[in-house]
Amino acid sequence: MRRSSASDVSVIVNMGRKCMMIVCDFCMQYEPDGKCELGLKIPKGMSCPEFDPGLERFCSNPKDYVSPQQIIDMAIFFDIKGRELKKVKLMTAREESNRL
């Protein structure tokens, strides 16, 4: 699997298939039908002012969660940066304190 960036959208190439990743894929406000619960327009890139990351969006199985750094590394891999990365870091710190 290799990652490349096409304009502002992360692209994952896996066995010849491309999957477009958007910041919404990691947001709790993103609905299965592809719409934002807040009624916002779906961004083309990896930024959104109302980004609300959730641990379950990074690890669908809670047993897969190892540490905050694991989630932060995943966010960086998927080209999440700036204000959105800060929100991911806050979410992981909150999750970690809830587990203690």
Average pLDDT over residues 32-55: 93
Share above pLDDT 70 across residues of the chain, in percent, rounded to a whole number: 81
What is the domain range of residue 36?
2-99
- Residue 9: Cβ-neighbour burial (10 angstroms; 0-12, 13-18, 19+): middle
Average pLDDT over residues 33-55: 93
- Residue of higher predicted confidence among 52 and 20: 52
* Rounded Cα distance, 40 and 15, in Å: 33
pLDDT (tens digit per residue) in 56-69: 999 988 788 889 99
How many domains does one find in the chain?
Answer: 1
Residue 4's pLDDT band, with cuts at 50, 70 and 90, is: very low
| pLDDT value of position 9 | 45
| C-alpha to C-alpha distances, 42 to 23, 47, 69, nearest whole angstrom | 9, 10, 27
Share above pLDDT 90 across residues of the chain, in percent, rounded to a whole number: 61
- Other Cβ atoms closer than 10 A to 35: 14
